[in-house]
Amino acid sequence: MAAYILRRVLWGVVLLVLVSLLTFVVFYVLPSADPAQLRAGRNADPATLAQIRANLGLDRPLTAQYWTFLTQALLHANLGYSYFSQASVGSLLVDRLPATISLTLGAIVIWVLVAVPLGVVSAVRRGTWVDKLTTGGALLGISVPVYWLGLVALYLFASDIGKFPLLPGAGSYVPLTDDPWKWLTSLILPWLVLASTFTAVYARLLRGNMIEVLSEDYVRTARAKGLSERRVVWRHALRAAVTPLVTLAGLDVGLLLGGAVLTETVFGIPGIGRLNYDAIVHADYPVIQGTVLLAAFFVIVANIVVDVAYAYLDPRVRTA
């Protein structure tokens, strides 16, 4: 197992290098705003522009630029400096990460706590109003775009613009360490909005898996043993039905940690996604590279964690 994990980690590093190269190429090959131009202002004279270009190192050959980035990143864990704010990319990421983690973890808790009971109950009570309500609601949740739902949530409940001003609105995020209560209340709306799609998807998937598993022979065996229906459903059936979803959930968490761009943008949460969005707007290449790499890093780590976790959840994988 250790050798397997080591191999996966090494591959992960290779993958990150490839991702950085791709980001670099995409940024310079595809049309993008000129970072120097953006910084110099609309009517800058060529001399100023050249000066800025030289300051940012943009006048050097592309290969040299990439080489500098790569060696700095690999040897000194230095991801460069923002064209825009001059801050180091590493420190920007560290500053923004807590907000993204707060948003992601809260959303997971909500979606797991809601999706699992919904999926199980609608599978067990298939065809009843509970099931119809759940599957209908799930379809709605899957269909509705997050940014729209976010705006509706703000319109309805935000304390500044809402019809029912119950909760802090956009831009009210406060770090947990500053004020836990404000942190909590400011995140309730974003959590609910971000969790809604995932809840819908997972409830539906779990319902489908449960229906399949409930007709399995081993569920019949569990009943034949004289187990209570509750135990049959929540231990025997759910155990088998939820295992494949753990894989998916792990990957989704990895994706979200890389920044829930839409949710963070709608609610003005200073997270990784928002940082990435701003960096793209400002053609701030080093920050784009940093956020993309961070997202890739989380996805790779999530993949490894999921594979290892799966071996523990399903003994058949262990021996295979």
Partner 1 sequence: MSDAAILRVEDLRVGFATPEGLVQAVDGVSWAVAPGRTLGIVGESGSGKTVAAMTAMGLTRGRRTRVSGRVLLDGEDLLSAPPERLRALRGDALAMVFQDPLSALHPLLRVGDQIAEAVRAHRAGVSRAAARARAVELLEHVAMPDAARRVDAYPHELSGGMRQRAMIAMALANEPRVLIADEPTTALDVTVQKQILELLRRLRDELGMAMVLITHDLGVVAETADEVAVMYAGRIVEQAPAAELFAAPQHPYTWGLLRSMPRLDAEAGAELVPIPGRPPSLIHPPSGCRFHPRCAYVRERHREVDPPLAPLAGAGAADTGHRVACLLSETERRAIWARLAQGAARRRSWPASSSSSSASRSRAACCCAGGSARWRRSTA
Residue ranges in contact with partner 1 by CB under 8 A: 216-218, 220-229, 231, 236, 239-240, 243, 313-316, 319
CB of 319 to partner 1, least distance (A): 7
251, 173 Cβ separation under 8 angstroms: no
Burial class (CB in 10 A: 0-12, 13-18, 19+), 229: exposed
CB of 305 to partner 1, least distance (A): 19
CB of 243 to partner 1, least distance (A): 7
Cα 157 to Cα 159: distance, rounded to the nearest angstrom: 6
CB of 212 to partner 1, least distance (A): 13
Among candidates 59, 80, 66, which has minimal Cα distance to 27? 66
At 116, give phi and psi (nearest 5°). Answer: -65, -55
Nearer to partner 1, 41 or 315 (CB): 315
Nearer to partner 1, 7 or 132 (CB): 132
Residue type, 246: V
Nearer to partner 1, 7 or 225 (CB): 225
Nearer to partner 1, 182 or 231 (CB): 231
Burial class (CB in 10 A: 0-12, 13-18, 19+), 226: exposed
Q: CA 81 from chain center: how many Å?
A: 24
Q: CA 158 from chain center: how many Å?
A: 24
Nearer to partner 1, 37 or 243 (CB): 243
CB of 223 to partner 1, least distance (A): 6
As a whole number of Å, the CA-based R_g of the chain is 24
DSSP letter at 128 equals S
Nearer to partner 1, 52 or 123 (CB): 123
CB of 109 to partner 1, least distance (A): 24
